Structure 1
């Protein structure tokens, strides 16, 4: 299967899934008789969107790659998509790039971004690439999310941890999240959105393929085509060193076109989670450098009478 065919397949898959979730009653359509499948029929959705049934069928089958913005918006309204789903539909409907591409170079966090997270000594912080690979982390970010992994691994492209791969395939990471099912659904929904924006990213497609083969849980979630831009929220951790924590996360976009993001975690002051985070920071702090003793003062010179 070519990348263009894969992109067209993703568009049809998304449209069929969301069409199956939209009931005739919700759409204001009077339904007569039994239905073989749930949701709207193709011709019903086409009518709601103001396009011909033939045109919509071709779109869903991946045979119309130049749908206008207005048509995609009309279909999104007919499906009652939210903002993230609407943006994702536009990404999938955009014509795929053609022609040969240069091999992707190993990604790297900008030095200034690394210095920024290193300066955040009391805040766990991770710099992620668009494929959720760890490009850099500060001491506390490493201690919170992957203390069992070599702290220097993000500097080696071949050994870089990947947060999504670890979530589904690493037992230590699975035990870390108290609400693993929720975290897994959130990770797949975010990755779906990124995959739609970067349909020509071979490494990202390889990651999805590997996880689909290695994890039944990932494959089942991916097939449901969830889409959500996870920018903030709350997560519960069961950390092997400091116990239970409830932390607020923020996903900050680095202002360039590399797709890098900074993931940070904080706890409300005065809570047990805040105390646990401070304790973890103490555990991973660099050893104190002993102060040098003051240099002895030179003896005063004797005067000769």
Structure 2
């Protein structure tokens, strides 16, 4: 076995060394972060303040907005601070915290998206049973199960990852502590142990993906059998945003963690990391509000109330 090293901090070396590019990255990240805060904050406020949106679908959307805020707040503030102050270091404990919260929040979000697929399936395929299957207590239990599953997944991966010996230094070619890059620093036999844990998580994730696909097959079959065109349009308008979010989340995450090593490069890894960790939290509020008239009306009323009260 190579010499085991003791590490007190990691160096995040994803970006160029020139000061101009560092400030450009800071400005870009700041813009994306503010957009995510604004979009998800408006979703949270609209759902919380409007009784018309106190339904299972919007309850789960509120949870999704909370998770998106947590996801983007785990990575971007530290990356912005490093770019602004021309530093690269993140403490060992800080890196472990990033890994924990990323697994917790991303895992919870994926399980929540699975629950949201079930919500749409019941609403469209079993509308007469919607109230009994998705009452307030059932919704709270399903949301708690999604958050709890993400938490257990995060504990498993974080404890397993940071109990392994490091043999390859402390340089991470990314702007946050990403598991695939940290795994490269482990001794070879330790790497294989963590890969086994990842395989378990991927298997569970694949099971959720199959459930989502089967749910949407049933949903589209039911929608296409609807005799009224207006009913079909309304059903599609409530399903397509969720389907778009699932597609964006799954495609970017799977590519990030399962892409072949032969096509890996620092620039590609950086782009993929941005796509799955930064872009979805910023775009999800826009995706959910574009085709949802109820959300747009609630946000418009909220903005009007805020502006009128500050005049």
TM-score (norm 2): 0.23
Structure with max Cα Rg = 1
Decide which structure has greater strand share: 1
Decide which structure has greater helix share: 2
TM-score (norm 1): 0.23
